[in-house]
Amino acid sequence: MVVNAIVLINVARAEVNSTAQKLLDIDGISEVFSVAGRYDLVAVLRAQSNEHVADIVTQAVQQLPSITHTETLLAFKSYNRVDMEAAFSIGNEEALGD
């Protein structure tokens, strides 16, 4: 089972780019986005368990000195374009040209 999590991150001034690069070096982090709003960065985690998410966040992410605050969101379910197209195409293969 894969556990998906999103980590909202505040970073010290002028450290966004370097922190994003350091986050990408952490095993389990698949993507990092710089964003506008309350947070500076958003990291997408893919882990084997909730405990692994906790380890990534507490033992790796929060140990970066430029990170001042994090908020972790655990995903209940993941939706993406491929999954949605497949769900709506069930029984409608003729329309898709299959």
Whether residue 93 has pLDDT greater than 90: no
Cβ count near 80 (within 10 Å): 8
CA-CA distance, 84 to 93, in Å (whole number)? 15
Amino acid letter at 18?
S
Q: Which pLDDT value is given to residue 77?
A: 86
Q: Kind of pairing, strands 3-11 and 29-34?
A: unpaired
Q: Which pLDDT value is given to residue 80?
A: 76
pLDDT in tens, 24-77: 999 999 999 999 999 999 999 999 999 999 999 999 999 999 999 999 999 998
Domain range summary for the chain, segments of one domain joined by +: 3-96
Q: At 86, is the pLDDT very low, low, confident or very high (cuts 50, 70, 90)?
A: low
Task: Give the pTM.
Answer: 0.81
How many helices and strands, by DSSP H and E, does the chain display? 4, 4
Distance, CA of 6 to chain centre: 4
**Is the domain defined by 3-96 classed in CATH 3.40.50.2300?**
no
Pair of tokens at residue 68 = 């001042």
